Amino acid sequence: MKHAQTTGLVIAILIAAAAAGFGVYTWMQPSHRPVPPASVAETSAPPPVIPTMSAAEALTVPMNDLQGRPHSLDDWRGKVLLVNFWATWCPPCREEVPLLVKMQAKYAAQGLQIVGIATDEQSEQDVREFLKRTVVNYPILMGGGHSADIVNALGGDFIGLPVSVVLEPDGSVFRINAGAMEPRDAENLVRAALKLPALPAPKPTAITQAN
């Protein structure tokens, strides 16, 4: 009887150890990112409670484009700037890109400039591969570890992606939007920042009753 109990205990310990090992392996995989089925994908790190820089300093943080050239958000002062914080592993971010491309093309002449800040911290390669498959007509900068600091300094909460910050021509914050934007809401946000009238309300769809 005692031998049977000992054997059972050993088996239980082995099973528990195997389960723990599998959990650690899964958690340590670089591609393992828990993304909830919503318009916001969780980020891997919580935002700091206190911003580490001022809003003015956030506009001058240097970030490289994919050619290695340094830029800051202040480079586009004088334009209405929509800064989109995104990541290649974030489904809502990827789905929002065609909308941003459309708005950049439609409102560039009115003074809009969209800038994408990739928050991917592992490598630029994921961003490069994504851009090979997706046409983007606005600059992409590598934000990496600066992303959370910039969002928090501008008054947002870096708790999920995507995050879009709309800046006025003087660099002040016009609006911050957390989560993927609906097309009509996004366009009206941009139009408001550009001092353009809102889009007309959609006409109700007529319902035809069968005789």
Domains in the chain: ranges and CATH: 41-193 (3.40.30.10)
pTM of the predicted model, to two decimals? 0.75
27: CB partners within 8 A, 6+ apart:
none
Q: If you ran DSSP here, which 8-state letter would residue 83 be given? A: E
| Closest listed residue to residue 96, CA positions, set 205, 202, 211, 181 | 181
pLDDT value at position 145?
87
CB 111, CB 194: distance < 8 Å: yes
pLDDT value at position 87?
96
pLDDT in tens, 125-183: 999 999 999 999 999 999 988 999 999 999 998 889 999 999 999 999 999 999 999 99
In the chain, where does DSSP find H-type helix? 2-28, 55-58, 91-107, 125-133, 146-153, 183-193
Q: Which residues of the chain have pLDDT under 50?
A: 2, 4, 6-7, 9-38, 47-49
pLDDT value at position 57?
97
pLDDT value at position 211?
56
